[in-house]
Structures are given as C-alpha cells and as structure tokens.
Amino acid sequence: MTEPRRVEGQPAFVLHTYPYRETSLIVEAFSRDHGRVAIVARGARRPKSAVRGVLMAFQPLLLSWFGKQELKTLHSAEWQGGIPQLSGLPLICGFYLNELLLNMLAREDAHSGLFANYFDTIQRLSCQLDPAPCLRRFELQMLMELGYGLDLTRTVDGQRVRAGLWYVFAGGLGLREDQMHGEGAVQGETLLAMAEQRFDQPQVLAQSKGLMRQAIQHALGDRQLYTRRLLRDLNQL
C-alpha cells in the first residue's frame, strides 16, 4: 500500500476555519510552497486538543499534513509568533485579505511571492495606523501574481500614461484615456505613483481605491466580497 503524501513543517497562515463533523475543523490554509490547501484538523474542537489554540488567523504557523485527496489531514501545527494580534480596523482589513485569497486562489497553486507579501502586509497591519497603503500594495501584487496584472504606465493602445490626462479602466483590456473625466476616471499622476507603489498623497489613495475595486471585481466576476461591503460602509476601502 502506497504511503500517503506528507508535507512537513510548511510555513502557512489560516485563512478560514469551519466545523466538520462533531469535533473536527476544516482549515483553509495559505501555505508558502503548496498554495491554498484544505486540511481537516481531527478533534480540534475538543477542549483539550493540542491545536485548538494554535489554528488562529493572522499568525505565522508551521503546518504538517498528509493525504493525496483534495482534503488533507493535519498532523501537527506549531505557532511561530512574532505578530501582535490584529484588532479594530486592521482586523477587518485582515479578513478582507483572507476573503480575497479564498476567492482568487486555486487550490494547491503555489505563489511564494504572494505568500511573502501577505506575511509582510499582516505585519504592517499590526503596527500601522492607516492600513489603506498596505491594502493597495497587496492588491497590486496579488493581481500581478495571478495573471490579472494591470499596466499602469501604458494604455491599451500602447500610449504612455501622462500626468495631466485622465484614464479609465476597461475591464479585461487595461487603461484608456478618458477626456470626459467620467465616473471612475483616474488621473495620470495617480497611475504613475501607483506604478512606483507610492501612496503618500490623499489623491493617490482616493483614486487608487476605486481603480483597484474595479480591477478586482473584474477578476472576481459575479462573486461578491462581504468584507468589502463592510469596509465600504466604514468608508475605508
């Protein structure tokens, strides 16, 4: 009989958990080398479970699991520490990142660069007062990593983006010049700042929020994000 495939000590974060049978949990995890994986943690809901207090969101973990099917079985979970627990608005922003990844990542499709960016973003959320620049940088890299990257320096017809002009997002294509300054239009200065990941100006933060919302929704299709609606109500995303 063939031994089940084992993965040992894999850096990972918990994206979401939900009950499974009487005492277990299904853990949706984002791992460095194996992407998004679904793992059953048997007995994790029992009061004396060794992993009950370890499988927390926004905390770096080392997970070990086995199994060849889509649903793996957890062998062990070790907390690595080093990140303060998120609270308040940063906590909601963290839930937004997790919901994004749950909807955008295919199972077992590794994105080590995106994992490193997620790790860095969670660390920044834990210590920065304004989470908006962190979210915009993460969104940009996520779209690039997953094949939805937006060229912020050229239009769909190959023209260079210029300061002083206005542009609009054309879903599935890229940017077009917009002489009418219509709804959702973005200034060239904003696009060039975004390309350099500079989000220190109020105009850039305000306009990039709308542009990234359009680009991400295009990638999501008909799927809607609960946390986006919540943050929109708080006028933060």
How sure is the predictor about 84, in pLDDT bands with cuts at 50, 70 and 90? very high
Residue 110 has pLDDT above 70, yes or no: yes
pLDDT surpassing 90 at residue 184: no
The counts of H helices and E strands in the chain are: 6, 8
Convert the pLDDT of each residue in 8-53 to its tens digit. Answer: 999 999 999 999 999 999 999 999 999 999 999 999 999 889 898 8
**Helix or strand (DSSP H, E) at 211:** helix 202-220
Q: In terms of domains, do 113 and 224 share one?
A: yes
d(CA 175, CA 154): 7
- Residue 4: band (very low, low, confident or very high) from pLDDT cuts 50, 70, 90: low
Is residue 163 within a helix (H) or strand (E), and if so which, with residue range? none
Cβ-based burial of 98 (10 A; exposed 0-12, middle 13-18, buried ≥19) = buried
Mean pLDDT within 173-195:
92
Q: Which of 51, 160, 158, 144 is nearest to 104 (CA)?
A: 144
Q: Is residue 1 part of a domain?
A: no
CATH of the domain at 109: 1.20.1440.120
Q: Mean pLDDT, the chain, as a whole number?
A: 92
Look up residue 217 and give its amino acid.
Q
Using the predicted structure, report yes or no on whether residue 107 has a pLDDT greater than 90.
yes
Q: Which residues contact 69 (CB under 8 A, 6 or more apart)?
A: none
User: And the tokens for 48?
Assistant: 């004396």
Domain limits for position 75: 6-79
Q: What is the pLDDT of residue 2?
A: 46
Domains of the chain: total: 2
Nearest to 31 by CA among 90, 104, 116, 97: 116
Of 79, 97, 121, which residue is a domain's last? 79
Which domain CATH number covers 43? 2.40.50.140
Asked if the model's pLDDT at residue 167 lies above 50, the reply is yes
Strand ranges for 61-110 from DSSP E = 61-66, 71-79
